[in-house]
């Protein structure tokens, strides 16, 4: 990461030092934080540096992902859902059917819970509900669990987009990096945000 | 944990059969061109507690060889690993250890 040499550049997602944090708490994701017992009170905090337009745009993408996850599967959405819910057993149809029957609903619920909490974090109204107020929204901090949910949801959106763009092998992935359509641009941009999110969560 | 002191009829043959079939399972992550390499490494570290080195080596195996065994265990454990990998949108499956 070269942020030190790049003055004026603001990372979309950053980890905040403990010393300068502690006054604002918008940890609304604690009940969906089952993956990581991070102790959100004392764990690291993170900040999203998006302007209101970009926040609104991300909220819209999240709503579209939720719509996809919770609507009846159609011919158009089947390949996308297949990528989000890949088979667990490649050679055993019975066990695979059992896995899908037992786990799929839980997987949808888990993804929707993450989407809902991230959408609330990104929405000014959500921050107001938390008593933080609109002015502070830009500086509201996230727990590690919130940031994981943000990462997972963003990654799922990027995965859907990549599948729609027919990125099916590393070659077409390379092509995507040089593509200049709106969708390719968005796909790249989400990858850029994700890269910073992973770095922030990794502590670098 | 039994919650009653009454003797319980146990279907022993079925249990034995299930145990006999419960050979170890391996959890496999398959290469996909969309998930970022840094993301895959991070997910492996965060789900399995692997070191940076081990997670990076596994990610590179996935990337170069097309797949890698990232965990193993009985069926229940393997299914939970697969579920959590699916939660993070990794292309994961499980099969019997050969």
Digit-coded pLDDT (tens) for A30-41 = 444 444 444 445
**B74/A contact by beta carbon, under 8 A:** no
Residue A152 has what pLDDT? 97
* pTM over cut 0.95: no
Query: What CATH number does the domain containing B82 carry?
Result: 3.30.1390.10
Number of domains in chain B: 1
- Which chain A residues are Cβ-neighbours of B31 within 8 angstroms? 170
Q: State how far the Cα of B83 lies from the Cα of B98, in Å rounded to an integer.
A: 22
pLDDT score recorded for residue A173: 59
Token pair for residue A52? 């209101």
Residue A92, pLDDT score: 93
Chain A residue whose CA is closest to B91: A86
- Min Cα separation A128/chain B (Å): 30
Chain B closest CA to A89's CA: distance in Å? Answer: 6
Give the closest residue to B42 by CA, choosing from A160, A186, A13. Answer: A13
Q: Please check whether residue B7 lies inside any domain of the structure.
A: no
Which structural domain range is residue B68 located in?
Answer: 24-96
Query: Residue A43: is its pLDDT beyond 80?
Result: yes
Residue B37, in any domain of the structure? yes
- By C-alpha distance, the chain B residue nearest A109 is B87
Residue A177 has pLDDT above 60, yes or no: no
Residue B69 in domain: yes
| Mean pLDDT to the nearest integer, A159-173 | 79
Record: contact A162-B95, CB cut-off 8 A = no
Domain membership of residue B1 (yes or no) is no
Residue A86 has pLDDT above 90, yes or no: yes
B18 domain-assigned:
no
Q: Is the pLDDT of residue A4 over 50?
A: no
Mean pLDDT by 10 residues, chain B (98 residues): 57 52 88 95 97 97 96 95 96 91
d(CA B63, nearest CA chain A) in Å: 9
Residue B73 lies inside a defined structural domain of this protein: yes
Residue of A90, A173, A202 with shortest CB distance to B93: A90
pLDDT at A135 exceeding the cut of 80: no
In a domain, B30, yes or no: yes
Given an 8 Å threshold on Cβ–Cβ distance, is B34 in contact with A173?
yes
pLDDT-based confidence at residue A28 (cuts at 50, 70, 90): very low
For residue A64, which of A46, A80, A75 has the smallest C-alpha distance?
A: A80
> How many residue pairs bridge chain A and chain B with CB atoms within 8 Å of each other?
77
Q: Please write down the HEC assignment for all residues of A18-80.
A: HHHCCCCCCCCCHHHCCCCCCCCCCCCEEEECCCHHHHHHHHHHHHHHHHHHHCCCCCCCHHH
What is the reported pLDDT for A182?
85
Interface of B with A in 25-44 (CB under 8 A): 31, 33-36, 38-39, 42
Q: Which of A155, A175, A184 to mutate to test the interface with B (most CBs of B within 10 A)?
A: A155
pLDDT-derived band of residue A42, with 50, 70 and 90 as boundaries? Answer: confident
End-to-end, the C-alpha distance of chain A in Å comes to 8
Q: How far is A27 from chain B (nearest CA, A)?
A: 20
Does some domain include residue B66?
A: yes
* CB pair distance less than 8 Å for A90 and B95: yes
């Amino acid at each position: 990461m070269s942020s030190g040499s790049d003055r004026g550049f603001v990372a979309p997602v950053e980890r905040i030092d403990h010393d300068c944090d502690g006054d604002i708490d918008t940890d609304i994701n604690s009940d969906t934080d089952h993956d990581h017992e991070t102790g959100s009170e004392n764990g690291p905090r993170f900040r999203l540096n998006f302007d209101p337009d970009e926040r609104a745009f991300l909220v819209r993408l999240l709503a579209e992902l939720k719509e996809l996850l919770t609507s009846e599967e159609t011919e158009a959405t089947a390949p996308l859902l297949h990528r989000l819910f890949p088979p667990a057993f490649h050679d055993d149809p019975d066990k695979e059917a059992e896995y899908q029957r037992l786990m799929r609903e839980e997987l949808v619920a888990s993804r929707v819970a993450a989407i809902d909490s991230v959408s609330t974090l990104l929405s000014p109204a959500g921050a107001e509900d938390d008593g933080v107020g609109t002015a502070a929204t830009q500086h509201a901090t996230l727990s590690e669990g919130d940031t994981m949910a943000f990462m997972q949801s963003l990654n799922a959106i990027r995965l859907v987009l990549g599948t729609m763009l027919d990125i099916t092998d590393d070659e077409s992935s390379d092509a995507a990096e040089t593509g200049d359509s709106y969708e390719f641009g968005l796909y790249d941009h989400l990858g850029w945000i994700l890269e910073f999110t992973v770095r922030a969560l990794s502590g670098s | 944990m039994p919650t009653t002191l009454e003797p319980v009829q146990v279907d022993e043959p079925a249990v034995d059969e299930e145990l006999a079939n419960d050979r170890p399972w391996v959890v496999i992550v398959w290469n996909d061109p969309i998930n970022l390499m840094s993301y895959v490494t991070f997910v492996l570290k965060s789900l399995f507690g692997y070191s940076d080195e081990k997670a990076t080596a596994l990610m590179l195996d996935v990337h170069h060889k097309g797949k890698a065994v990232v965990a193993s265990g009985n069926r229940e454990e393997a299914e939970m690993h697969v579920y959590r990998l699916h939660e993070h949108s990794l292309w994961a499956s499980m099969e019997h250890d050969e």
